[in-house]
């Protein structure tokens, strides 16, 4: 059997399939782990989210042997982890508004956009890290950061370091989408430490195995997962209406996006 878990802002969902693709069981539970500290911060408890996902996995194991587990989830947000792979901060979600606070006659997000050459909005992980860097609030023992999907993956298998898929990395910002890597030159302009940025993968890399022997694969962005799960054909337009809504078109290679559009890494070397 195969298990998929989606970590949304308001709910956490799972679907268990047999080897013929038939649905064996589903589960939808509310994500009630918001933390309120200031008006601008939009935080969630990363460890409680991970614990809920692990409990869902354990429940699904009662239906039989789960060969593999895939994860998708809310993009843009980040959680800091230490060298043991443990969260040392809350999840700063995509709704975090600290980037809109004033900084040097503009805002943190706009200043970061100006110096990096990348369009960075508040809630992007790189903006959250930049705010913490300027205000000296990056946890002292932070080894790296990752999305909540990446964090759940390493908690399921007991890994010490996340592997971030390019679909999630692009949502963090300061990412070279054309070449599918961190834009080190842009990062250097911000003075952010390059060593803090996580390791990347362009493929569905396996993060590890659970104690029960399930192969857990790196998380991918929720937009990309919604497209991949909706069609087997590339020449298809996918309209997804949720908290954020997109019209997505798979393409085989990088193209400069038209005005009012953006291009995102997809899977198997393709783009949306």
Per-residue pLDDT tens digits for 166-202? 999 999 999 999 999 999 999 999 999 999 999 999 9
Per-residue pLDDT tens digits for 227-260? 888 877 778 898 988 767 889 999 999 999 888 8
Over residues 61-76, mean pLDDT: 94
The predicted structure's pLDDT at residue 3: 98
The predicted structure's pLDDT at residue 101: 96
Per-residue pLDDT tens digits for 130-174? 999 999 999 999 999 999 999 999 999 999 999 999 999 999 999
Q: In the structure encoding, which two tokens stand for residue 190, read together?
A: 């911000």
Angle at 168 between CA 56 and CA 150, to 5 degrees: 35
Q: What is the Cα–Cα distance from 200 to 197, expressed in whole angstroms?
A: 9
The predicted structure's pLDDT at residue 146: 97
**Contact yes or no for 91/160 (Cβ under 8 A):** no
* Res. 41: pLDDT tops 90: no
**C-beta neighbour count of 4 within 10 angstroms:** 17
Over residues 9-34, mean pLDDT: 94
* Res. 56: pLDDT tops 80: yes
Range 20-24 contact pairs with CB under 8 angstroms and sequence separation of 24 or more:
24/63
The predicted structure's pLDDT at residue 144: 97
Question: Which band of pLDDT confidence, cut at 50, 70 and 90, is reported for residue 54?
Answer: very high
Per-residue pLDDT tens digits for 84-120? 999 999 999 999 999 999 999 999 999 999 999 999 9
Question: Which band of pLDDT confidence, cut at 50, 70 and 90, is reported for residue 80?
Answer: very high
All residues at 6 or more sequence positions from 165 whose CB lies less than 8 Å from its CB, including other chains:
200, 201, 202, 204, 205, 218, 219, 220, 221
All residues at 6 or more sequence positions from 74 whose CB lies less than 8 Å from its CB, including other chains:
7, 8, 9, 93, 94, 147, 148, 149, 222
The predicted structure's pLDDT at residue 268: 87
The predicted structure's pLDDT at residue 206: 95
The predicted structure's pLDDT at residue 258: 87
**Contact yes or no for 127/173 (Cβ under 8 A):** yes
Q: What are phi and psi of 227, to 5 degrees?
A: -75, -45
DSSP string, the chain: -EEEEEE-SSEEEEEEE-TTS-EEEEEEEE---EE-SSSS--EE-HHHHHHHHHHHHHHHGGGS---EEEEEE--S-BEEE-TTS-B-S-EE-TT--GGGSEETTEEHHHHHHHHHSS---TTSHHHHHHHHHHTT-S-TT--EEE-HHHHHHHHHHT-SS--EEHHHHHHHSSEETTTTEE-HHHHHHHT--GGGSPPEESS--EEEE-TT--EEE--EEHHHHHHHTT-S-SS--EEEESSSEEEE--BSS--PPPTT----B-STT-B-
The predicted structure's pLDDT at residue 36: 80
Over residues 60-66, mean pLDDT: 96
Q: In the structure encoding, which two tokens stand for residue 201, read together?
A: 């993968």
Q: What is the Cα–Cα distance from 153 to 207, expressed in whole angstroms?
A: 7
């Amino acid at each position: 059997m195969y298990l998929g878990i989606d970590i949304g802002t308001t709910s956490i969902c799972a679907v268990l399939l047999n080897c013929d693709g038939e649905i064996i069981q589903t589960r939808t539970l509310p994500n009630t782990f918001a933390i309120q500290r200031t008006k601008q911060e939009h935080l969630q408890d990363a460890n409680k989210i991970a614990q809920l996902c692990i409990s869902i996995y354990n429940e699904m194991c009662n239906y039989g042997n789960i060969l593999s587990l895939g994860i998708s989830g809310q993009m843009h947000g980040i959680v800091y982890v230490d060298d043991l792979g443990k969260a040392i901060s809350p999840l700063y979600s995509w709704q975090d508004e600290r980037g809109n606070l004033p900084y040097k006659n503009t805002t943190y997000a706009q200043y970061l956009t100006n110096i990096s050459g990348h369009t960075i909005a508040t809630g992007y992980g790189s903006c959250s890290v930049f705010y913490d860097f300027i205000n000296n609030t990056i946890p002292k023992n932070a080894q790296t950061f990752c999305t909540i999907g990446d964090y759940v993956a390493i908690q399921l298998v007991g890994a010490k370091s996340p592997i971030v898929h390019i679909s999630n990395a692009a949502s963090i910002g300061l990412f070279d989408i054309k070449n599918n890597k961190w834009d080190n030159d842009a990062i250097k302009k911000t003075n952010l430490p390059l060593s803090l940025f996580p390791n990347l993968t362009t493929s569905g890399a396996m993060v590890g195995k659970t104690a029960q022997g399930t192969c857990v694969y790196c998380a991918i962005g929720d937009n990309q997962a919604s497209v991949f799960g909706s069609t087997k054909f590339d020449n298809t337009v996918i309209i997804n209406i949720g908290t954020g809504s997109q019209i997505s078109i798979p393409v085989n290679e990088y193209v400069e996006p038209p005005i009012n559009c953006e291009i995102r890494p997809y899977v198997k070397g393709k783009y949306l």
